[in-house]
Amino acid sequence: MAGLGALLLWMAFPPLDWWPLAWLAPVPWVWLVRRRQLAGRRPYVALTVAGFAFWMGALHWLRLPHPATSIGWVALSFYFAFYLPVFVGLSRVAVHRLRVPVMLAAPVVWTGLELARAHLLTGMSMASLAHTQYRWIELIQVSDLAGEFGVSFVVMCVAAALARMLPCDDRPWAIWPLAPAAGVLAAVLGYGYLRTAHEVTSPGPRVALIQGSVDIELMSAADPQERRRMADQRDDYTYRQYLRLSEEAVEKYPRVDVVVWPESMFPWTLVTFDANATRPAEYGGSEAQFRADLQQAADSDRWTMARLAEKLGTALILGVATEHFGAHDDCVYCSAAYVSHEGRLMGRYDKNHLVMFGEYMPLVDRFPWLQHFTPLTGNATPGNKVVAFEAGGVCMAPSICYESVLSHVIRRQVNALAAEGKQPQVLINLTNDGWFWGSSELDMHLACGVFRAVECRKPFLIAANTGFSAWIDGDGRIRKKGRRRQTDILLAEVRLDHRGSWYLRHGDWFAGICLVACLAFAAAYWFPAVPARRRWHSSSSSSKAACT
């Protein structure tokens, strides 16, 4: 039964993408929750194996960037595998010990665990149950109340009702669970129809999203000079491709306000430095020569960006690597640079939330030898502030790569900018998904963007290398989408959304309640209360013994 649920849920996600199966996939697991006793000598080991099999299939694309990333693929799948037995175990405590109805216990526990997964070990909410439903526009509108977790709750609630209908132990078939499930679904869909019934938008900027198709692989040549030569060839090819597409965009679409390139597709490093920057130990020249070289490098990068903006005649948002030389050491950032149509560098956003093992190796500062176990040549540094770009007459909030996977990261950035008086009107994500060679990772990443748009009630634009670039409106509708692993130009004629969002103001209140309930169920397991009848019986026996 555990394996059947895992298979059905895997089929609901890309690459098969048979999304209606997501409503059936949890049914075998909830049926196991209902049973008085789990069969087998080690049922929770079987549940862990089933969970591991699901995650190995769902996250298979993690093996594609480099042979070494297969280690992360297996490790992450192993960690996620434990969520299934924990779900079944906590739900059984709620149902059999605390007498909570399974139709309430299962969705509460599932939702609470999804919130935990989004935060623990830097967080990862890709492939959540809600993401299977991103095309059902009316259903996902509840995300502006409870985030994507609200949709997961609804799907699990219906699945639990179906499981409650099945015969289990000495309980026969039942029809009545359909009524509460239908009531929950009707309420959610009714809310969705009300939220999408009237247009409350106004015209916004015209944004050209440039999608090149450059598959990325980590350089494996042993000779540093050979690696440098291969990297230079790739950078030259990348720049020429994106320049050609950008020229086509401004020629095809007049009055483009902003042209956007994906993460790291501007191939030259943006150099910045402090006045008291420290000369690196490996630098062979004098202090004066070091200062001169720094200034020359900084001026060269800005000159290249300025000439690009002048040639296209429009403002640019470019995905670029930034190397900053400070008083103590130098830092490397994954950045989004905003260049005005006159060629001035107007602002830069440094990615705040980095991907473990993808952009940095944990504990490498304390144990440098760990770097040898990863193909990374160095660690990126997280940015420490949020930035808004005043582009195309509106305020745009940039994010980079997997920051869009986590709802609380985007929400925190939007609220921080609003507190500074820079309320974002458009959200834009720059990502390089060329690491995954057109796999199902593209579909999973796109689904995350749909939920971020609904949660914040703001149009969400994605510029992605190899796809999927997309223009998503405030209802979560994908207005335009790039082709998989193909070059493309998307003109987003953005409509600004003027609706508010409860989720944006109050955050994960709903999923937080579910997580607190999970902790209460765990406490009930570890610290079970002595039943009243047993206490009375024990007291009565002691009294009789005393009288005797």
Instruction: For residues 317-343, give the mean pLDDT.
Output: 93
The whole model's pTM is what? 0.92
Instruction: For residues 132-152, give the mean pLDDT.
Output: 98
Residue 14 one-letter amino acid = P
DSSP state string for 481-535: EPPTTS-EEEEEEEEEE----HHHHH-SHHHHHHHHHHHHHHHHHHSPPPPHHHH
| Distance, CA of 218 to CA of 96 (rounded, Å) | 51
Planar angle of CA 407, 411, 417, nearest 5 degrees: 155
Instruction: For residues 371-378, give the mean pLDDT.
Output: 59
The model's pLDDT over 278-300, given as tens digits with 9 standing for 90+, comes to 888 788 888 889 889 999 999 99
Contact 133, 143 (CB under 8 A): no
Q: Classify residue 99 as left (phi > 0), alpha (psi -120 to 50) or beta.
A: left
> Which residues have C-beta within 8 Å of that of residue 337, sequence separation ≥ 6?
266, 270, 305, 316, 317, 318, 320, 322, 345, 347, 348
Kind and range of the H or E run holding 165: helix 148-165
**527 falls in which pLDDT band (50, 70, 90)?**
confident
- For the chain, the C-alpha Rg in angstroms (whole number) is 27
Phi, psi of 507 (to 5 degrees): 70, -150
Question: 529 or 278, which is more confident?
Answer: 278
Copy the structure tokens of residue 162. Answer: 């179906």
The model's pLDDT over 73-109, given as tens digits with 9 standing for 90+, comes to 999 999 999 999 999 999 999 999 999 999 999 999 9
The model's pLDDT over 171-183, given as tens digits with 9 standing for 90+, comes to 999 999 999 999 9
Q: Find the range with the poorest average confidence among 416-425, 450-459, 524-533.
A: 524-533
Question: 249 or 69, which is more confident?
Answer: 249
Residues 55, 56, 59, 62, CA torsion sign: positive
pLDDT surpasses 60 at 303: yes
The model's pLDDT over 461-487, given as tens digits with 9 standing for 90+, comes to 999 999 999 999 999 999 999 999 999
- State the pLDDT at residue 34: 97
Question: 541 or 29, which is more confident?
Answer: 29
Distance set, CA 20 to CA 130, 166, 177 (Å): 12, 19, 19
pLDDT surpasses 60 at 534: no
What does DSSP assign to residue 398? Answer: E
| Distance, CA of 201 to CA of 423 (rounded, Å) | 16
- State the pLDDT at residue 479: 98
- State the pLDDT at residue 524: 94
**49 falls in which pLDDT band (50, 70, 90)?**
very high
DSSP state string for 427-489: EEEEEEGGGGTT-THHHHHHHHHHHHHHHHTS-EEEEEETS--EEE-TTS-EEEEPPTTS-EE
Copy the structure tokens of residue 273. Answer: 């430095």
Give the residue carrying structure tokens 């909570």.
100
Give the residue carrying structure tokens 């610290």.
527
Question: 454 or 531, which is more confident?
Answer: 454
DSSP state string for 327-349: SS-EEEEEEEEEE-TTS-EEEEE
**Summary mean pLDDT of the chain:** 91
- State the pLDDT at residue 229: 80
Domains present along the chain, CATH in parentheses: 2-198+508-532 (no CATH), 201-505 (3.60.110.10)
Copy the structure tokens of residue 318. Answer: 């470019």
Phi, psi of 42 (to 5 degrees): -135, 70
The model's pLDDT over 244-256, given as tens digits with 9 standing for 90+, comes to 999 999 999 989 9
**226 falls in which pLDDT band (50, 70, 90)?**
confident
- State the pLDDT at residue 366: 67
Question: 381 or 449, which is more confident?
Answer: 449
Contact 88, 33 (CB under 8 A): yes
pLDDT surpasses 70 at 223: no
| Distance, CA of 230 to CA of 220 (rounded, Å) | 10
**121 falls in which pLDDT band (50, 70, 90)?**
confident
Instruction: For residues 128-133, give the mean pLDDT.
Output: 98
pLDDT surpasses 50 at 64: yes
